[in-house]
Structure 1
Amino acid sequence: MENSNDEVDNFVGHNKLKEAIREIRDIPSHLPIYIWCGDNIEEQCGLRFFLYLLRDQHNEIFLIHTNGQQVIERQWNPNLYEKKRLSVKERLKFLQQWEGLAESTAVLRQWEQQHIQEVSENFYDSLIVKRLKEIHQEQGHVDFIQTGTFLLELLARMDESPNIFYLEYRIRYLIYNGTLALKGIPKSMWDYYVKICQKTSLV
């Protein structure tokens, strides 16, 4: 049943994405488009994908950078915020960057110094193991820790927060390669516990 549910979720998600793309492409050409974007990898990649979808449209496009200005709760009137009109040259640059991302085989990227940087798939593994070791040392012994709780605590310590589900994917990889031990059934991050395997040094 779990696999069946995953297939249903994937089907629904795929259809929602197709519908969103259709709505974006159906925006009338006389309407200005305002894109809200912050300094994080998800929104920066999303910005480039969005502009790729709009590559054949002639709408005026304005970028509202949410970092550095206070976003008013439930106030999405673009006239309340500083905005930048994207030139044809800037739009072309973003388009070319998306095409490069689409051709890349990298699975993990970071937003660093105003640029998208590709990093290795196991980039966060050492950080995960290091923090688990620290927790075990604080415990005074090696005990299981709920995965979801651990990941939230780990994210709170990170300057550039990656997607929590990517971190959980790396947790599962570390279980499969024998670095971490598992207790429970990993249906979701709240359903299982992890700890450093006894064979792994805590120093």
Structure 2
Amino acid sequence: MNNVIHMCFSASASGSFKYAIKENIIKGKKVISFYDNLSEGKIGNLKNLDDRIEWYKSISHTKEISKEDIYEYKRDYHRYRRKIAKLTREDIIYMWYGECSEDICGMMYALELMKDKCFNIYLINVSSLVEENEYEAFIPKSVSEVMSKDINKYIKFKKELNKNTYKDILQMWEALKNQNEVLRIFKDGKVKSSYKEYFDIDILKNTNKKFRKAARTVGYVLGYSDQNISDDYIFWRVQELIKQGYIEYKGKFGVMREMEIKITNKGIEMLNNDKEAIAFWKEREEETDNEIEYRRIFREECALKERVNIARNLLDVLEVEVIAEKTGLTIEQVKNLERVMSK
């Protein structure tokens, strides 16, 4: 297995894989990592990167992007392309991803660079396996959520990439590049371009009537969201909502840790157009921070545990596809649940 190369698409995932190889938890020659989050910002031209650099400048209100930063950013891309170019037919590629736009966009870009090297590539979807114990269930949304000690258990679920699937992935990536929006989300089983205001309602419904640290609101949005989004993106949208009069602030504008924010009457009016959002906002207004966090975790884990139990009980009765439709799990998650039970 010394010719296995693991590929992942975030800095935290990279650290986990390097540690797993070092500690002999998994076998592998090396890890090739990609650090830029292609689910955010312009992606129409990834050769000169000018559009992406301008995007980062536009959302960085106080932190100046230096010439050194730009040089290092371009250098990282150049090094990544060079590593891809050095791959040979003797290499076996394990490409790791979860069902989130950051992992999948990174994977699509890697496959675009490898389009003349369609051999020995295996895809490993960490979101296809449900982790559970007696009390709770958990599905990793991204590879970065998988602990180093647990990586090995996912390898048996690898799938060889065939030419037709490869072609389909490249076509999807080309469509996303042509659309060239500033946000891509994972929805209905695939990555889609989305409008930049996608998270605005989530931000407003997690913003109190009384001033509270902006970082806390950003944290709640990240915690409740079914998307893997960066805090930079959410904070950028907070600042845009301030400019539009939906949120009021005090402190140093553009510095998350030094800003406090509260929702305005205009913001509440916007929430009133969404029954679920205003109901959520009213409910959380009456709770403490600890109660809010406990409720979020309890609802997520219990709901998933219940769906897994229902799927398990239906395995001998219904087809896998029907079970997936009824429970909201994916077909792969149900299949892997069946494999685990059959052991």
1:170 corresponds to which residue? 237
Paired position in structure 2 for 1:43:
103
CA deviation digits over 1:144-182, x for unaligned, max 9? 221112111222222334222211111111112222222
Match of residue 52 from structure 1: 112
Residue of structure 2 aligned with 1:112, choices 176, 187, 195:
187
**Aligned ranges for residues 14-163 of structure 1 at < 5 Å?**
14-69=74-129, 73-74=148-149, 80-132=155-207, 135-136=208-209, 142=210, 144-163=211-230
2:230 and 2:214 mapped to 1: Cα distance?
A: 15
CA distance in 2, matches of 1:12, 1:181: 36
> Aligned to 1:150, what secondary structure does the other structure show?
helix
Q: Is residue 60–residue 85 contact of structure 1 (8 Å, CA) maintained in 2? A: yes
CA displacement, residues 12-61 of structure 1 (integer Å, 9 cap, x when unaligned): 22221221121122112321111001111111111111110100114310
Deviation larger for 2-11 or 29-38: 2-11
> Could you tell me the TM-score, scaled by structure 2's length?
0.51
Tell me how far apart the structure 1 counterparts of residues 106 and 128 of structure 2 sit (CA, whole Å).
Answer: 19
Structure 1 residues 191 and 81 mapped into 2: Cα distance closer, same or farther (>3 Å)? farther
Spell out, residue by residue over 1:89-148, the C-alpha distance to the aligned partner (whole angstroms, 9 max, x if none): 11111111111111113222221121222222112112212221xx32xxxxx3x22111
- SS of the residue aligned with 1:116? strand
Cα distance in 2 between the residues matched to 1:165 and 1:47: 22
User: Is residue 2:248 matched to residue 1:181?
Assistant: yes
Identity %: 24
Structure 1 gaps of 5+ residues are 137-141
The whole-number CA distance in structure 2 between the counterparts of 1:102 and 1:48 is 11
Match of 1:118, as an amino acid? S
Runs of 4+ in structure 1 off by over 4 angstroms are 2-7, 74-80, 198-203
Q: With structure 1 as the length reference, what TM-score do the two structures score? A: 0.82
- Runs of 5+ consecutive residues of structure 2 not aligned to the other structure: 1-61, 132-145, 273-343
RMSD of the alignment, in Å?
Answer: 2.5
1:34–1:116 distance in 2 versus 1, CA, 3 Å? same
CA contact (8 A) 2:252 2:259 kept: yes
Q: Report the CA distance between 1:84 and its aligned residue.
A: 0.1
Cα offset, 1:9, TM superposition = 2.8
Deviation at 1:79, TM superposition (A): 8.4
Q: Secondary structure at the match of 2:257?
A: coil
Please tell me whether the aligned partners of residues 29 and 58 of structure 1 are also in contact (alpha carbons under 8 angstroms): no
Aligned length: 194
User: Could you tell me which amino acid in structure 2 is paired with residue 155 of structure 1?
Assistant: L
